[in-house]
Amino acid sequence: MRGGRAIYIVGPCAAESREQVVETARELSAICHEHADCRMVFRAGAWKPRTNPHTFQGAGAPALEWLAEVKQAFGMEVATEVATPEHVAAALEAGMDYLWIGARSSANPMAVQAIADAINAALPQLNAAKGCSVNAVSQQCNAPKALLIKNPVNADAALWLGNIERLEKTGVPVIAVHRGCNHQPCWAMAHKVRMARPDIPMLLDPSHMSGDAAQVPALMNKIAELGLDGAMVEVHCCPEKALSDNKQQITPTCLRDALDSIVSRLCLVSLICPSESQEELNWLRAEIDELDEQLWDTIAARMDVSKRIGEWKKAHGVAPFQPERYQTIVESLKLKAERLGLSPEFAMQIWDMIHEESLKQQ
Ligand code: PEP
Ligand code: MN
């Protein structure tokens, strides 16, 4: 946290029906009152960017009315995803407090620019409607309170930073949302953006980062460790019945437990006052832990291929150890190690260990 209240944007992946939206919001508004120290915003996607065109694509514009009802009935601020200029116009018209731009749109700078242009075009009208100065983006006006930009679906820090700039030109505050790629955290990408723009708040999206409800509470501990500004979390009144992302949505009770544990951790942490340099070490450790995981996944996948090669060799009467092939690999490994700035001896040691285990498996 770089000052200010933590922000938690919570609610279902998609607005599915008025009942589902209102019931989820009712449960969340109680938690909202328990955490008055945080800024709690209700989220739900009206339009869903789905991979498969035969699945639920969102309820569309009528869902904005359900969100407006949540705002009215529970006094919660509301957020929805926009992917086109038409979405922007409809969402602002319906009084959405926050607009977020999803990972798929974030991968396309032209889509982000079109959204930024639509916001720019709408602002004078929105402000004029409330009698605000046309040039002032004020909290009192109908202008959105902030624009949230997720990282692109590919781990491209430069593209994410470029999108932040495109949106900043609207004059509306911008918040980055780190949701990882392909259910991997990609901490290195987020670390780059954090270092380049320490002035922009960054939220964690543990739901899309993991794709797994069971991992969401543990990932939320990263908020304090990395000095993030809060989270966007998918919460559904009945996750097993959810029409999209049903494996990653948590229940309101689970969110309550996770927030309570974060608050008690933060109290502990504030006693020992984590410095920015401790946060920096935590970022680097997150990066190295992710690299180690990838290393082990790669080694396990390699052993699997090696076993299949062993089966082929057995079937064709070929000996597991092939000196010529070994020699070719060793030569190219030495060159590669030098190119990568690694000691060739170190690379050889690791390779020999992997190769030896591989032969045992064969
Ligand atoms: C979402 O938040 O529901 C969503 C679609 O997220 P993302 O763009 O990160 O996949
Ligand atoms: Mn989702």
Residues having CB within 6 Å of any atom of ligand 1:
13, 45, 49, 102-104, 150, 179, 208
Alpha carbon distance 98, 107 (integer Å): 20
Question: Which atom in ligand 1 lies closest to the alpha carbon of residue 205?
Answer: 9
In sequence order, which ranges of the chain are alpha helices (DSSP H)?
Answer: 18-34, 62-74, 85-93, 103-106, 109-129, 157-168, 187-196, 206-210, 216-225, 252-272, 276-315, 323-339, 344-361
Query: Of all protein residues, whose CA lies closest to atom 6 belonging to ligand 1?
Result: 102
Query: Of all protein residues, whose CA lies closest to atom 3 belonging to ligand 1?
Result: 13
Alpha carbon distance 46, 24 (integer Å): 15
Of the CA atoms within 13 Å of residue 328, those in its CB half-sphere come to 4
Task: Indicate the helix (H) or strand (E) that contains 79.
Answer: strand 77-81
pLDDT string in tens for the chain (362-residue length): 655 789 999 999 999 999 999 999 999 999 998 988 899 999 999 999 999 999 999 999 999 999 999 999 999 999 999 999 999 999 999 999 999 999 999 999 999 999 999 999 998 877 666 665 555 544 445 789 999 999 999 999 999 999 999 999 999 999 999 999 999 999 999 999 999 999 999 999 999 999 999 999 999 999 999 999 999 999 999 999 999 999 999 999 999 999 988 866 665 555 555 577 889 999 999 999 999 999 999 999 999 999 999 999 999 999 999 999 999 999 999 999 999 999 999 999 999 999 999 999 88
- Which of these, 82, 84, 277, 99, lies nearest to 173 by C-alpha position? 99
- Would you put residue 197 in left (φ > 0), alpha (ψ -120 to 50) or beta? beta
The residues, ordered by sequence, that sit 6+ positions from 185 with a Cβ below 8 Å of its Cβ are: 178, 209, 219, 286, 290
Query: Of all protein residues, whose CA lies closest to atom 1 belonging to ligand 1?
Result: 13
Q: Which of the ligands is closest to the CA of residue 105? A: 1
Query: Of all protein residues, whose CA lies closest to atom 10 belonging to ligand 1?
Result: 103
The separation between CA 255 and the C-alpha centre of its own chain, rounded to angstroms, equals 17
Return the bridge partners of 181, or none: 184
Of 13, 52, 183, 249, best ligand 1 pocket probe by most atoms within 8 Å of the beta carbon: 13
CA 17 to centroid of ligand 2, rounded, Å: 16
Domains, the chain: 6-272 (3.20.20.70), 284-361 (1.20.59.10)
CA 224 to centroid of ligand 2, rounded, Å: 23
CA 120 to centroid of ligand 2, rounded, Å: 27
